[in-house]
Structure 1
Amino acid sequence: MFKDILAKIQDYQTIIIHRHQRPDPDALGSQLGLREIIRHNFPDKTVLATGFSEPSLSWMAEMDAVEDIHYAGALVIVTDTANQERIDDSRYTKGAFLIKIDHHPNNDGYGDITYVDTSAASASEIISEFALSTNLKLTDEAARLLYAGIVGDTGRFLYPATSAKTMRLAAELREFPVDFAKLARQMDSFPLKIAKLQGYIFDNLEISDAGAARVTLTQEALKAFDVTEAESSAIVGLPGKIDTIEAWAIFVEQADKESYRVRLRSKNTVINTIAQNHEGGGHPFASGANSYSVEENDQIFQEINAAIKENRRDV
């Protein structure tokens, strides 16, 4: 199917690339890495990346100013986005042809071409494989962006989805003259306020006997630490560093104080089915959901406990 995607890229003069809301390094790495690849290999084409410019990830690259007129007769590509409601910039349907490239479970198979590889550890891995297998030339900047995306979604190659292919593609990217040590420092460093927030997380973490954990970040807590919701994602993996914790939830109270963004993570217990019960989804061990009350938060926590116990019975 990579040949079909390349053929469509060759066919269209204007290409607009989308990704999901609240971007992480993989969303930006795949989106902007693909933009860089197409621009370099097809310099006569207009290639634009749209979406919110996340300040905490401005070191990766900037978004383009995309006007409505650009969508007329354009090819639209959406990377790293499982569900249509999560696509950043609702104009993705305004083009002439739509391609989805993703690595999440394909519960929403939108697009005229849908390429989903759930065995890939990241969308950036897929874009890397696409470029290398179709003999498109990579640039230093494309390698930097794609490597950042792979590192981000694999948790620095620690997560279970990391495969031999992941490592091979990362090695190909490492051949480019990029300061990867600097990149690693950028991805591993955080402001002092995030360090203080980490202390709050450990102080307020609730851990069950089964190994489920949860913590709630209220609007008051976010304001006290001067942390945005996007910046709070930096602590999502923190509870997993405790050896007795198997799966956990971070409940982030929204500005309306009537709903919560739920970040779910696990070491070995499948939790995306829990996310699906609460307007969410994602990977088996890394998902997101929505909650609309403290009672629903409690329900999600109990579902995590039950899932851990069931998983242990099955082992």
Structure 2
Amino acid sequence: MDFSLKQIAELLQNSSTIIITAHVHPDGDCLGSMLALNEYLSSRGKSVKMVLDDEVPALYNFLPGYETIGKPTTKIISADLLVVLDASDIERIGKVKEHVNAPILNIDHHISNTKFADYWYINSQSAATGEIILELLYLLNAKMTPTIATCLYTAIATDCGFFRYANTSVQTLRYAADLMEFGANPNSISEYMETKPLESILTLAKVLETLELHHHGKIATITVSPDTLDTLDSTEGFINYPRIIEGVEIAIMFKIMNEGTIRISFRSKTVDVSKLAFSFGGGGHIRAAGCAIIGKIEDVQKKVLSSAIKQLQLAETLL
């Protein structure tokens, strides 16, 4: 059922026990949104538990409260409400879907959202789910603490490339200014996000050795091997390097997982890569999307590149 923010506020107010979750392979938006909403609901006397079917990357260990995020177990938990943040499909929350027995509320900003929940609020115009959570907290007249501000600033800033990507709006910048006034420190957050362990830089150098250009230099790909993943818990930001190459319209990162699955990330400057990801069972945003395909890397790369070229050619005919 399509809900307004006001209806969501009422639903949360009328729920006593709440589970909060988000998508696997967590990023700054889903983590920051989870932690901010948890902080507010807990302050209102709600019984709240955060559950995530994945590890929190060390990159985000500066976020206050990250260590309280639990993992699903075989035990079924009942609650008044399961809040799913920043996930466009039920499969994106992993084992949590079998772990919790509760009506589902989905708050999201992905254009590819499948409307899987019992109640949903989806705004694809929002730069991040963190923007929606901030609007919700405003509606609830929430006391904005430095903890909430830090979490939501991180959520918003990371999902719009620290205000460099096309999804950055005037409202996004206004929200960022509000969060600074509430206690977020952009300098500290950027410092945490930009500081990398030596292993990350050395791994990036190896990954960039796999860089290839296709279709007259308009598509760039990089490949991350399983042994790379054994030494590094996050490859976040790697795909930005092929994306910034002059003449490149679509950047693709193939990440070979040990279980035979290839995780694929897409970034673009002008092409709608959400359609490309959706064609392989994934989803995302117009300029940033992803999917996962089971198969041999050579076959997957050939298939994905063929589709990417077609998507690029289609975009060129519409110019």
CA contact 1:80–1:103 (8 Å) conserved in 2: yes
Question: Closer, same or farther in 2 for the Cα pair 1:202/1:70, shift >3 Å?
Answer: closer
* CA RMSD across the alignment: 2.0
Which residue in the other structure is 1:220 paired with? Answer: 227
Which residue in the other structure is 1:280 paired with? Answer: 282
Question: Closer, same or farther in 2 for the Cα pair 1:178/1:255, shift >3 Å?
Answer: same
Once the 2 structures are TM-superposed, how far is the Cα of residue 202 of structure 1 from its aligned partner?
2.9
CA contact 1:144–1:178 (8 Å) conserved in 2: yes
Question: Closer, same or farther in 2 for the Cα pair 1:70/1:146, shift >3 Å?
Answer: farther
Residues 209-250 of structure 1, C-alpha deviations (whole Å, 9 max, x = no match): 141011211223444xx223xx12231222112122110111
Q: How does 1:1-315 map to 2 (within 5 A)?
A: 1-40=4-43, 42=44, 44-51=45-52, 52-56=54-58, 57-60=60-63, 61-65=66-70, 71-91=77-97, 94-208=100-214, 209-223=216-230, 226-228=231-233, 231-256=234-259, 258-291=260-293, 292-293=295-296, 294-315=298-319
Q: Which has the higher helix share?
A: 1
CA contact 1:271–1:285 (8 Å) conserved in 2: yes
Secondary structure of 2:254 counterpart: strand
What's the TM-score once normalised by structure 1's chain length?
0.91
Once the 2 structures are TM-superposed, how far is the Cα of residue 70 of structure 1 from its aligned partner?
8.4
Residues 70-92 of structure 1, C-alpha deviations (whole Å, 9 max, x = no match): 84342211100000001144247
Secondary structure of 1:251 counterpart: strand
**More deviation, 19-28/290-299:** 290-299
**More deviation, 62-71/161-170:** 62-71
- State the distance in 1 between where 2:29 and 2:275 align: 22
Residues 260-315 of structure 1, C-alpha deviations (whole Å, 9 max, x = no match): 11111111111121112212111111111122222121121122223223322321
Residues 53-82 of structure 1, C-alpha deviations (whole Å, 9 max, x = no match): 414222222234477888434221110000
The unaligned stretches of length 5 or more in structure 2 are: none
- State the distance in 1 between where 2:184 and 2:156 align: 15
- State the distance in 1 between where 2:140 and 2:16 align: 19
- State the distance in 2 between where 1:53 and 1:248 align: 26
Secondary structure of 2:220 counterpart: strand
What's the TM-score once normalised by structure 2's chain length?
0.90
Secondary structure of 1:160 counterpart: coil
Residues 116-166 of structure 1, C-alpha deviations (whole Å, 9 max, x = no match): 000001101110111113322221100000000111100111111111111
CA contact 1:214–1:251 (8 Å) conserved in 2: yes
CA contact 2:20–2:85 (8 Å) conserved in 1: yes
